[in-house]
Amino acid sequence: MTSNGYKAIADSMSALGLNYGLLEYVADPIVYPYWVGSNSPRETDSEDGLSEDTFMLNGFTRSTLSELQADSESIESYFSRNGKFITAADGSAVIIIFSGSQMIPTGEEELKRIQVNLIIKEYGVK
């Protein structure tokens, strides 16, 4: 994933008004709920300039699970299963597609977690 993809995610989370950090969320004090992003590259680089990654957003709260579910639904609505097309400053295209979400136990009674999966497709300009 390129810096254009990471920027598109960060800008989108900001537009949604969600607390977000790449790989970790850093705030003092921590403000819940918050979302942490990470990616898992796929081997899909192709001759037409397409690269594709799976991007995971993990949401955490110490409040109610419904709070995270509402955030997850906002993310789904924003990106949709049809995808959100974003043009980067260099002319590259980033398409972010909502792929699904699931609740994940944390092993800690007060801490709730939901994972949202996104597909990131990037078409580079050469």
Domain ranges of the chain: 3-54+65-123
pLDDT given for residue 45 in this prediction: 58
**pTM for the structure as a whole:** 0.90
Tens-digit pLDDT string for the chain (126 aa): 889 999 999 999 999 999 999 999 999 999 999 999 999 877 665 666 688 899 999 999 999 999 999 999 999 999 999 999 999 988 889 999 999 999 999 999 999 999 999 999 998 765
Given this model, what pLDDT does residue 46 score? 62
Identify the pLDDT of residue 124. Answer: 75
pLDDT given for residue 44 in this prediction:
60
- Put residue 84 in one of left, alpha, beta given phi > 0 → left and psi -120 to 50 → alpha: beta
Respond yes or no on whether the N-terminal peptide bond of residue 33 is cis (omega within 30° of 0).
yes
Token output for 21: 């950090």
Backbone angles phi, psi at 37, to 5 degrees: -105, 145
> What's residue 125's pLDDT?
65
